[in-house]
Structure 1
Amino acid sequence: MIFGLIVLGRVCPVESVSPSYKGHRYPVEIISHCVWLYFRFPLSFREVEELMLARGVIVSHEPVRRWCRKFGQAYANALRRRRLRPGDKWHLDEVFIKINGEQKYLWRAVDADGNVLDILVQNRRDKAAARRFFRRLLKETGSVPRVVVTDKLRSYGAALREVMPSVEHRSHKGLNNRAENSHQPTRQRERAMKGFRSVGGAQRFLAAFSGISPHFRPGRHHRTAPDHRLEMTVRFTIWNQITGVTDQPAVA
């Protein structure tokens, strides 16, 4: 069963209003499921169309594209609001990505638990770019870290002294594996999509992707099979709530 799930033993409170689907011909169950498929798995819009057809749902790839663009970020934001406040130790890293044949930089920040705090696609990795990312992080998280861990890029230290002078800065490549490892799902998706076509398109996709995909990656190797199934059931119920598939929380 793909659209209905029951949570056993846990309550998932509703904390935000689900998006409005007024004017859409398809029900919310189909829209949210298509968005989930696209951001959870390395699928194209046409492949999502094919999978839905296999379930007896006739929908073109073009509506799927519009739904992902319209609702993807809203879903990601709602999932982020459900998380606990980020820890006081942040890990930052930047990697290059190819966009329409040109080299750009993807800046990423994660907390000590590996939760993605924010991402930003920029043209450079200088002090101005680092400063812009720090200010964006402060605005998005609404908190100030105790420690910031980065690699040896000098731009981090220069920007940090200007934006957050009281925050401890640890600059060591070996200490930053948590941020570097968080790039792997993005790299996998980048290869599947054969790169990005524009900076705006990359920012839109990655901002939604970094909010949705980790929600369904709870670290299976740390759990037994029953625990993993229970955790995934809870996470699917949260997904149903923030997308509006279920109006009330499910209680055992």
Structure 2
Amino acid sequence: ALKFMKKLMKRHGPARTITTDGLRSCKAAMKELGNTEKQEIGCWANNRVENSHLPFRRRERAMLRFRQMKTLQKFSSVHAAFHNHFNQDRHLISRETYKAQRSAAMAEWQTLAA
């Protein structure tokens, strides 16, 4: 945490407030940097930060089952291609557009798989 915060402060300069979770490493790093009064720890203060990590955390959970890094990397590359191909923002488009894009993606995937 200390190394990360030093790098951030070097790149972006001093911050007015720093929102962290309740980990001891963050508290110790803030104490060493002399920013304890700038640290914000609250029940919902860290939600935006944690929610930005959700796709990474989902992929991380799938990776726990792998014993070797090589098989993990192989799975990740295939999964990323498949997920990016079929992941459509359903909530942003109409049903007809979604169905057309989904069938086009499936047809393209079947030609690639054949």
TM-score (norm 1): 0.24
Higher-helix-fraction structure? 2
Structure of greater relative contact order (alpha carbons < 8 Å, 6+ residues apart): 1
Q: TM-score, normalised by structure 2?
A: 0.47
Query: Over alpha carbons, which structure has the higher Rg?
Result: 2
